[in-house]
Amino acid sequence: MENAKRIRDAFNRRDVDAFVDLVTREFEWVPVMAAIEGEVFTGREGIESYIGRLGEALEGYLAIADDHRDLGDRVLNLGRMVGRGRGSGVPVDTPVGMIFHFRDGKCSRMRAFLDHAEALRAAGLNEESG
């Protein structure tokens, strides 16, 4: 669970090197933000690309995790993404659920959801198990 928190912290600092140190070489990131939904970002280049593209759309963005659940080789984070639209200045505060998959202590895959209930279901849980 600590590595999931470290990944989130590296993401919030835009620290690609720290992020890369916590993931496998073939790491996959499946985001849900509208502009890039359906894309899968892999490896260091994927991390750099996703953080860069998100920075083009949002300024001052942060991932905030309110609930961490250790699921063995996976970690579920339920929280939100906050920031401001880069061009519009419109505040963004949206629910985000993340499932981190781990192999040998490193994250091999992250998948995001804009609905906490959907993230819980994908993790094999339900809202009552919280």
Q: What are phi and psi of 26, to 5 degrees?
A: -100, 25
Instruction: Say if 57 falls within a structural domain.
Output: yes
Q: What residues does 14 pair with on adjacent strands?
A: none
Which of helix, strand or coil describes residue 55? helix
pLDDT at residue 121, as a whole number: 96
> Domains in the chain: how many in total?
1
* Domain-embedded: residue 67: yes
State in Å, rounded, how far the first CA of the chain is from the last one.
17
pLDDT exceeds cutoff 80 at 35:
no
Domain that holds residue 69: 2-121
Judge whether 127 lies within some domain.
Answer: no
Name the residue among 80, 77, 88, 79 with its Cα closest to residue 122: 77
Cα-Cα-Cα-Cα torsion 64, 90, 118, 104, nearest 10 degrees, comes to -40
Any domain includes 88: yes
CA–CA dist 121, 61 (Å, integer): 26
pLDDT tens, position by position, 43-100: 999 999 999 989 999 999 999 999 999 999 999 999 999 999 999 999 999 999 999 9
User: Helix or strand or coil: residue 87?
Assistant: coil
- The answer as to whether 12 is a domain residue is yes
Mean pLDDT across the chain: 92
**Is residue 13 exposed (0-12), middle (13-18) or buried (19+ Cβ within 10 Å)?**
exposed
Q: In CATH, what number is assigned to the domain containing residue 64?
A: 3.10.450.50
